[in-house]
């Protein structure tokens, strides 16, 4: 038996149903935010400690720690698969946000690998052909953290606005501000230590705190789980 | 002159299904059933009618060991929905 509707009932039903998945945040989103938040916070804090404690000549070896970050991706993939299994609806916002974070990851990988290739191969050849200019050849690494913080800010700000979840938006603004301030400290002694500490604070403000707030409020924001 | 309302969409449950799917990239059967308060049997029948009309696509898969039916609206479904809403508007706001 089919229920036929009046025109007004039809419009009311359309509005009501469209709203069922409005501003949907997929269940488990908080877990991903916390996973990356704690990881980046932990790595930046560890790097900062190593930069402060390692002997002067070898202190930059502290950055090799970040290669371990690659080991996190299989866990991230498992988390994403689990979320996909557990969620019953995916809105266009969910789909768009997934793509924003994929674009964010690709941007970071392009820059980091481009700089690594430049430093390890192009610079080595250039140094052999024409020695000197060491500062100019390594200068781009000074801009990596401000650039990453800008990307964090962008992705967090867009996510916060899309899901109407203010702590994420504020986290994004904090990352923008941190990036801006860091650009004024490029000439300071111990700049890498300052950058790692700023990255640690930004990961806490942009990911860890909003992640825990989202975890607590998941029932309010997550629909259709 | 009033436009005809698409009879396939001018039914409570089918319109509810299409409206959910118009706002989502995809939604599974259980989600749609919960939001529409329909019985599984009736919902299956109406989803099949929408699928046969080419308004939605239906994909069957597994969620762990549980079977899962995922629905998505098609371009034909979006077009039919837009025409339906335009026709409703012409009824409610005749020129």
- Kindly indicate the confidence band of residue B23, based on its pLDDT and cuts at 50, 70 and 90: confident
Residues A171-187 pLDDT 10s: 999 999 999 999 988 87
Distance CA B90, CA A109 (A): 52
Q: Judge: A224–B15 Cβ closer than 8 Å, yes or no.
A: no
More confident residue, A4 or B46: B46
Give pLDDT, residue A136.
Answer: 61
Residues A104-143 pLDDT 10s: 999 999 998 888 888 877 777 777 777 766 666 677 888 9
State which CATH number among 3.40.50.10150, 1.10.8.100, 1.10.10.10, 3.90.280.10 fits the domain covering B12-92.
1.10.10.10
The answer to whether residue B58 scores a pLDDT higher than 90 is: yes
List strands edge to edge, sheet with B66-73: A89-91, B24-28, B66-73, B56-63
- Kindly indicate the confidence band of residue B76, based on its pLDDT and cuts at 50, 70 and 90: very high
- Kindly indicate the confidence band of residue A24, based on its pLDDT and cuts at 50, 70 and 90: low
Stretch A32-50: mean pLDDT: 94
What are the helix and strand counts (H, E) for chain A?
A: 11, 1
Confidence (pTM): 0.81
Distance CA A41, CA A49 (A): 12
What's the length of chain A?
Answer: 225
Residue A57, number of CB atoms within 10 A of its CB: 7
Distance CA A220, CA A36 (A): 23
Q: Which residues, 6+ apart, have CB-to-CB distance to A51 below 8 Å?
A: A59, A60, A62, A190, A192, A193, A196
In this structure, are residues B60 and B69 in contact, taking their beta carbons and an 8 Å threshold? Answer: yes
Mean residue pLDDT across chain A: 85
The DSSP letter of residue A205 is I
Give pLDDT, residue A224.
Answer: 44
Residue B73, helix vs strand vs coil:
strand
In this structure, are residues A25 and A222 in contact, taking their beta carbons and an 8 Å threshold? Answer: yes
- Kindly indicate the confidence band of residue A156, based on its pLDDT and cuts at 50, 70 and 90: very high
Give pLDDT, residue B1.
Answer: 45
Q: Judge: B20–A95 Cβ closer than 8 Å, yes or no.
A: no
User: Which residue does chain A place closest to B93, by CA atoms?
Assistant: A7
A21 contact residues in B (CB cutoff 8 A): 20, 23-24, 27
Of B12, B23, B30, the CB nearest to A18: B23
ipTM attached to this prediction: 0.84
Test mutation, A20, A83, A91, A98, chain B, max B CBs within 10 A: A20
User: Which residue does chain B place closest to A13, by CA atoms?
Assistant: B16
Comparing CA positions, the residue from A30, A23, A11 lying closest to residue A207 is: A30
A57 touches chain B (CB under 8 A): no
Distance CA A144, CA A162 (A): 27
Stretch B1-27: mean pLDDT: 86
Distance CA B16, CA A95 (A): 22
Residue A41 distance to chain B (closest CA, Å): 33
The answer to whether residue B34 scores a pLDDT higher than 60 is: yes
Give pLDDT, residue A116.
Answer: 84
What are the helix and strand counts (H, E) for chain B?
A: 4, 3
User: Which residue does chain A place closest to B87, by CA atoms?
Assistant: A7
Q: Judge: B12–A95 Cβ closer than 8 Å, yes or no.
A: no
The answer to whether residue A23 scores a pLDDT higher than 70 is: no
């Amino acid at each position: 038996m089919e229920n036929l509707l009046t025109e007004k009932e039809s419009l009311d039903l359309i509005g009501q149903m469209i709203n069922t998945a409005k501003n949907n945040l997929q269940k488990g989103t908080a877990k991903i935010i916390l996973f990356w938040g704690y990881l980046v916070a932990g790595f930046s804090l560890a790097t900062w400690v190593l930069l402060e404690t390692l002997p002067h000549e070898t202190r930059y070896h502290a950055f090799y720690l970040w290669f371990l970050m690659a080991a996190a991706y299989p866990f991230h993939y498992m988390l994403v698969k689990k979320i996909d299994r557990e969620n019953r609806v995916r809105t266009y916002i969910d789909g768009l946000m997934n793509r924003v974070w994929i674009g964010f990851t690709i941007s970071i990988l392009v820059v980091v690998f481009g700089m690594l290739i430049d430093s390890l191969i192009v610079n080595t050849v250039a140094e052999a052909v024409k020695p000197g200019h060491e500062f100019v050849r390594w200068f781009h690494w000074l801009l990596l953290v401000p650039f990453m913080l800008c990307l964090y800010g962008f992705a967090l700000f867009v996510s916060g606005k899309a899901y109407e979840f203010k702590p994420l938006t504020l986290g994004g603004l904090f990352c923008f501000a941190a990036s801006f301030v860091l650009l004024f400290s490029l000439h300071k002694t111990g700049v890498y230590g300052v950058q790692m500490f700023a990255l640690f604070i930004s990961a806490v403000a942009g990911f860890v705190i909003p992640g825990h707030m989202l975890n607590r409020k998941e029932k309010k924001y997550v629909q259709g789980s | 002159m009033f436009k005809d309302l698409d009879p396939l969409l001018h039914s409570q449950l089918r319109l509810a299904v299409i409206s959910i799917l118009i706002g989502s990239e995809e939604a599974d059967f259980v989600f749609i059933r919960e939001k529409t308060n329909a019985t599984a049997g009736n919902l299956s029948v109406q989803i099949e009618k929408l699928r046969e009309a080419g308004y939605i696509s239906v994909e069957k898969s597994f969620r762990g060991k549980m079977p899962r039916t995922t629905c998505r609206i098609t371009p034909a479904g979006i077009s039919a929905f837009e025409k339906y809403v335009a026709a409703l508007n012409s009824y409610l706001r005749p020129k």
